[in-house]
């Protein structure tokens, strides 16, 4: 009898306990539901504030919203309710400390075009595995072996611009594309360069087109080019498997025995990496040339730093090719790169989507809403970077405070190609500043707003070799 009462008591206690937990969960969920949404306006039904954003310089839109509502506000863009955030703390919350609550999100048409299995679209184990493989190929230990090859590509590119009127952005895109192929396929890249280039350029043209897959449309042509790219990649994979050599490039990393990536996964990620590398790095290079031409003193300081590297190599009778160690002796050049990354903020923001209702600073970010960390607003905050519109590389003589400088993002999706980007920019600047001068053609002061902000018309410049002044020989001096 005692045993039965005990049994009944335990039964009731467990039911009561489960009920209590359930009620508490409901209570907390419902109280979270009652949290207010961030301030801001959702605009017109469905279209929201899309026209306000796209009919002007998007940075003016972001800045005016921030001024009115503060560093977290709601809006409605391209059919999606969004929360935009522009404080370092909020960006850290979304990208780092609560990254698991915010998944990356892209329009379905972009996923189809780049490939659904590409790194940017994933979270969890598959993402972590890809990230490890990409980082393995782009970490300093791997990159130090390709400095001289990058230098070869840089010299070759600049040579082809000599005494020409060039569109800086377009030419930088070609340079960055060739470096990306080198980092992905190693020296084999030269064999496939033309075919890959032809297909990739068609694919890219359709990236921002209407996603209508009918014959004749840009989107259709892009999807066809994508298929052809995958076939070329399949051919490269099969040739490598037959050769059975080890390779230290990105493809070698993806093909490692233990990795068990499918050919489709490899193709999606190679196309994805080229995409991630190209316009970003090319637009930063374009802005650097613009800022250097507008700031002769900074250009002079960079040139002297680069000339000192040449002189020290001559004195030590080192090989004339640049080494990884040389690229680490460029503090002024690095600060120019940092300041350009800050002021141009070529990726003004990124997108995430809340996977659950999330509370931030007393506001509700509802499940399914897009969340946009606004990198540019943080980089242009006068409280963090005084006189933010002034190009002043010396501000980076002191390291910026944590989470205030995020040109390469932050957290688990931050850019694994940042070392490669900085390396190729430094190598190109070494040759440009020491052997060439350039001038911007036309009064190109405007900014072009597309997916990336660019100097007007891609910055047309004319580039010419510097006149080499050979010192007089001793006998000439004595005469």
Cα torsion angle, 122, 128, 134, 135, sign = positive
Helix (H, G, I), strand (E, B) or coil at 244: coil
Report how many residues bind ligand HEM under the rule CB under 6 A. Answer: 26
Q: Report in angstroms how near the CB of residue 135 gets to ligand HEM at its nearest.
A: 9
- Note whether 178 binds ligand HEM by CB under 6 A: no
Q: Could you say which of 277, 302, 365, 372 contacts ligand HEM (CB under 6 A)?
A: 277
Q: Which is nearer to ligand HEM, 219 or 252 (CB)?
A: 252
Q: In the set 230, 284, 330, 365, which binds ligand HEM (CB under 6 A)?
A: 284
Using the rule CB under 6 A, give the single segment among 68-76, 217-225, 275-283, 426-434 that binds ligand HEM: 275-283
DSSP per-residue letters across 322-340: --HHHHTS-HHHHHHHHHH
Q: Could you write out the three-class secondary structure of 200-220?
A: HHHHHHCCCCCCCCCCCCHHH
> 130: helix, coil or strand?
helix
Which 184-223 residues touch ligand HEM, going by CB under 6 A? none
CA pair distance 445, 202, nearest whole angstrom: 30
When binding is defined by CB under 6 A, the residue of 281, 306, 377, 381 that contacts ligand HEM is: 281
The CB-of-403 to ligand HEM minimum distance in angstroms stands at: 13
- For CA atoms 62, 294, 166, 309, the dihedral sign is negative
* Least Cβ distance, residue 327 to ligand HEM (angstroms): 15
**CA of 205: how far to CAs of 22, 107, 275, 344, in Å?**
53, 17, 12, 23
**Burial annotation 125-134 (CB, 10 A radius, 16+ → b, else e):** eebebbbebb
Residue 322 dihedral angles phi and psi, to the nearest 5°:
-70, 145
The dihedral over CA atoms of 103, 108, 110, 112, expressed in degrees to the nearest 10, equals 110
Residue 57 tokens, joined: 């310089």
Can residue 146 be called a binding residue for ligand HEM (CB under 6 A)? no
| Residue number with CB closer to ligand HEM (250 or 463) | 250
Closest to ligand HEM by CB, 73 vs 349, is 349
Distance CA 36, CA 363 (A): 5
Nearest Cα neighbor of 65 from 78, 52, 55 is 52
Comparison of 393 and 417: residue with beta carbon closer to ligand HEM: 417
Applying CB under 6 A, which part among 58-66, 288-296, 402-410, 456-464 lies near ligand HEM?
402-410
Least separation, in Å, of the C-beta of 20 and ligand HEM? Answer: 41
CA distance 25 to 17: 12
138/144 Cα distance (integer angstroms): 10
Beta strands 80-85 and 370-373 are: parallel
By CB under 6 A, residue 120 contacts ligand HEM: yes
Q: How far is the CB of 37 from ligand HEM (least distance, A)?
A: 23
Of 134 and 255, the one with the shorter C-beta distance to ligand HEM is 134
Compute the half-sphere exposure of residue 162: CA atoms within 13 Å on the CB side of its CA. 12
Considering only residues 49 to 88 of the shown chain, the ones binding ligand HEM according to CB under 6 A are: none
Q: How far apart are CA 247 and CA 235, in angstroms?
A: 16
User: Residue 131, interface with ligand HEM (CB under 6 A)?
Assistant: yes
Q: How far is the CB of 272 from ligand HEM (least distance, A)?
A: 6
Phi-psi region of 411 (alpha: psi -120 to 50; beta: other; left: phi over 0): left
Min CB(284)–ligand HEM separation in Å: 4
Out of 229, 267, 273, 440, the only residue in the binding site for ligand HEM (CB under 6 A) is 273
Give yes or no for residue 115 binding ligand HEM (CB under 6 A).
no
Q: Could you say which of 347, 364, 454, 461 contacts ligand HEM (CB under 6 A)? A: 347
What are the DSSP calls for 345-414, one per residue?
-SS----EEESS-EEETTEEE-TT-EEEE-HHHHHT-TTTSSSTTS--GGGGGSPPPTTS--TT--GGGS
Residue 350 is a binding residue for ligand HEM (CB under 6 A): yes
Which of the stretches 229-237, 271-279, 361-369, 380-388 binds ligand HEM when contact is defined by CB under 6 A? 271-279
Nearest CA to 259 among 439, 137, 416, 170? Answer: 137
99 binds ligand HEM (CB under 6 A): no
Distance CA 213, CA 219 (A): 6
Among 126, 207, 324, 408, binds ligand HEM (CB under 6 A): 408
**Residue among 43 and 411 whose Cβ is closer to ligand HEM:** 411
CB 157, min distance to ligand HEM, A: 16
- In this chain, which of 38, 88, 252, 407 binds ligand HEM, going by CB under 6 A? 407
- Does position 119 interact with ligand HEM (CB under 6 A)? The reply is yes
Residues that bind ligand HEM (CB under 6 A): 104, 119-120, 131, 134, 180, 183, 273, 276-277, 280-281, 284, 346-347, 350, 407-409, 413-417, 420-421
């Amino acid at each position: 009898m005692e045993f039965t009462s005990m049994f009944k008591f335990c039964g009731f206690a467990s039911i009561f306990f489960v009920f209590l937990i359930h009620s508490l969960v409901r209570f907390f969920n419902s109280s979270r539901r009652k949290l207010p949404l961030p301030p801001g306006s959702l605009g017109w039904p469905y279209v929201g504030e899309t026209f306000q954003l796209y009919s002007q310089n998007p940075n003016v839109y972001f800045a005016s919203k921030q001024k009115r509502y503060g560093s977290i506000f709601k809006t409605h863009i391209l059919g999606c309710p969004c929360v935009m955030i522009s404080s370092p703390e909020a960006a850290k919350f979304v990208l780092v400390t609560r990254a698991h609550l915010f998944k990356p999100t892209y329009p379905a048409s972009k996923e189809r075009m780049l490939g659904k299995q590409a790194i940017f679209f994933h979270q969890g184990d598959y993402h972590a595995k890809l990230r490890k493989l990409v980082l393995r190929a782009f970490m300093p230990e791997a990159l130090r072996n390709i400095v001289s090859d990058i230098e070869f590509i840089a010299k070759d590119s600049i040579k082809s611009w000599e005494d020409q009127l060039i569109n800086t952005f377009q030419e930088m895109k070609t340079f960055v594309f060739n470096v990306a192929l080198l980092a992905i396929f190693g020296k084999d890249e030269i064999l496939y360069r033309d075919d890959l280039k032809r297909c990739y350029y068609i694919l890219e043209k359709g990236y921002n087109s209407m996603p209508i897959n009918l014959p004749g449309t840009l989107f259709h042509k892009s999807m066809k080019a994508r298929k052809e790219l995958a076939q070329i990649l399949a051919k490269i994979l099969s040739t490598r498997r037959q050769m059975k050599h080890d390779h230290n490039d990105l493809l070698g990393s993806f093909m490692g025995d233990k990795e068990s990536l499918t050919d489709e996964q490899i193709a999606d990620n190679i196309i994805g990496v080229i995409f991630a590398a190209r316009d970003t790095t090319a637009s930063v290079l374009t802005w650097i040339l613009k800022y250097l031409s507008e700031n002769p003193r900074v250009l002079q300081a960079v040139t002297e730093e680069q000339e000192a590297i040449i002189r020290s190599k001559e004195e030590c009778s080192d090989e004339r090719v640049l080494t990884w160690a040389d690229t680490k002796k460029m503090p002024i050049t690095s600060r120019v790169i940092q300041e350009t990354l800050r002021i141009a903020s070529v990726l003004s923001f990124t997108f995430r989507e809340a996977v659950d209702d999330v509370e931030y600073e007393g506001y509700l970010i509802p499940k399914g809403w897009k969340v946009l960390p606004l990198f540019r607003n943080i980089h242009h905050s006068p409280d963090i970077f005084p006189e933010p519109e002034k190009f002043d590389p010396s501000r980076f003589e002191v390291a910026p405070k944590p989470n205030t400088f995020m040109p390469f993002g932050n957290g688990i999706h931050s850019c694994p190609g940042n070392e490669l980007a900085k390396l190729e920019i430094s190598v190109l600047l070494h040759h440009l500043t020491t052997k060439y001068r350039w001038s911007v053609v036309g009064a190109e002061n405007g900014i072009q707003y597309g997916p990336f902000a660019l100097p007007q018309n891609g910055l047309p410049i004319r580039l010419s070799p510097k006149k080499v002044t050979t010192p007089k020989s001793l006998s000439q001096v004595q005469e």
